[in-house]
A and B are shown apart, each in its own frame.
Chain A
Amino acid sequence: MAPVQVRGTVLTVRRVDAYVAMTVVAPAIATRFRPGQFIAVAVGGPSSSMLARRTFSVHDVRPDHGGTVEFIFLPRDPGAQWLADCRARDVLDVVGPLGRPFPVPRDPASCLLVGVGPATAPLFALAARLADRNCPTDFLLGAESADRVFGALTARRTGRSAVITTADGSLGSRGSVVDQLPTVVAQARTDVIYASAPIGVLRSVCALAGRYGLPVQALVSEPAMACGTGLCMGCVLPAVGNDGITRMVRACVDGPVFRGDLVRWDDVGTIPFDALGAPGWKPRPGAAGTASEERTHAG
Chain B
Amino acid sequence: MPADLRTRIGHLDLPSPILTAAGCVGTGRELAQFTDVARIGAVITTSVTLEPRAGNPAPRVAETPSGVLSAVGLQGPGLDEFLRRDLPWLLSRGARTVVSVAGHSAREYGELAARLSDAAGVTAIEVNLGCPDAAAAGRLFALDASAAGQVVAAVRGSARYDIPVFAKLSPEVTDIVAVAKACVSAGADGLSMINTLPGMVIDPVSLRPALAGHSGGLSGPAIRPVAVRCVWQVREALPDVPIIGAGGVRTGRDALEFLLAGASLVAVGTVLFHDPSACSRIQRELEEELAVRGVDRVTDVVGRAHQPAGYAAERRSWV
Contacts from A to B (Cβ < 8 Å): 2-3, 5, 42, 47-53, 79, 93, 95, 223-224, 226-227, 229-237, 247-248, 253, 268-271, 275-279, 281, 283, 289-291
The yes or no answer to B157 lying at the interface (CB within 8 A) is: no
Is A234 within 8 A of B61, CB to CB? yes
- Report the interface size for chain B: residues with CB under 8 A from the other chain: 46
Which B residue's beta carbon lies closest to that of A227?
A: B273
Instruction: Report the minimum CB–CB distance from A29 to chain B (whole Å).
Output: 13
Residue among A95, A224, A229, A232 facing the most chain B CB atoms (10 A cut-off): A232
Instruction: Report the minimum CB–CB distance from B288 to chain A (whole Å).
Output: 16
Taking CB atoms, residues of chain B closer than 8 Å to A268 are 58
- Which residues of chain B from 77 to 101 have a CB within 8 Å of any chain A CB? 77-78, 80-81, 84
Instruction: Report the minimum CB–CB distance from A93 to chain B (whole Å).
Output: 7
Is B63 within 8 A of A226, CB to CB? yes
Known: A2-B33, A51-B270, A95-B276. A234 touches B54 (CB 8 A): no
A279 to B213, CA, bound (A): 14
- Which residues of chain B from 41 to 90 have a CB within 8 Å of any chain A CB? 46, 51-61, 63, 65-68, 70, 72, 75-78, 80-81, 84
Which B residue's beta carbon lies closest to that of A49?
A: B66
Q: Which of A226, A237, A277 contacts B68 (CB under 8 A)?
A: A226
Is A281 within 8 A of B54, CB to CB? yes
A52 to B272, CA, bound (A): 10
Taking CB atoms, residues of chain B closer than 8 Å to A50 are 63
Interface-facing stretch out of B24-32, B257-265, B296-304: B24-32
A52 to B250, CA, bound (A): 14
Q: List 15 A-B contacts (CB under 8 A).
A: A49-B66, A51-B271, A51-B273, A52-B61, A224-B61, A226-B70, A232-B61, A232-B72, A232-B273, A233-B55, A236-B58, A236-B75, A253-B30, A271-B57, A290-B52
Which B residue's beta carbon lies closest to that of A233?
A: B72
Known: A3-B33, A290-B81. A230 touches B26 (CB 8 A): yes
The yes or no answer to B220 lying at the interface (CB within 8 A) is: yes
A81 to B41, CA, bound (A): 38
Q: Which of B60, B81, B273, B276 contacts A52 (CB under 8 A)?
A: B273
A223 to B220, CA, bound (A): 21
Which B residue's beta carbon lies closest to that of A51?
A: B274
Secondary structure call for the A interface: loop
The yes or no answer to B172 lying at the interface (CB within 8 A) is: no
Is B70 within 8 A of A270, CB to CB? no
Taking CB atoms, residues of chain B closer than 8 Å to A79 are 63
Instruction: Report the minimum CB–CB distance from A118 to chain B (whole Å).
Output: 17
Extra contacts, 10 of them, besides A231-B26, A236-B60, A271-B56 (Cβ < 8 A), are A51-B271, A227-B273, A229-B273, A230-B26, A236-B58, A248-B55, A253-B30, A269-B212, A290-B77, A290-B78
Contact with A along B182-203 (1 / 0, CB 8 A): 0000000000000000000000
Taking CB atoms, residues of chain B closer than 8 Å to A226 are 61, 63, 68, 70, 273
Which B residue's beta carbon lies closest to that of A93?
A: B275
A270 to B57, CA, bound (A): 5
Q: Which of B70, B75, B271 contacts A248 (CB under 8 A)?
A: B75
Known: A49-B66, A283-B51, A290-B52. A5 touches B57 (CB 8 A): no
- Which residues of chain B from 218 to 245 have a CB within 8 Å of any chain A CB? 220-221
Is A277 within 8 A of B61, CB to CB? no
Is B274 within 8 A of A231, CB to CB? no
Instruction: Report the minimum CB–CB distance from A222 to chain B (whole Å).
Output: 8
A273 to B59, CA, bound (A): 18
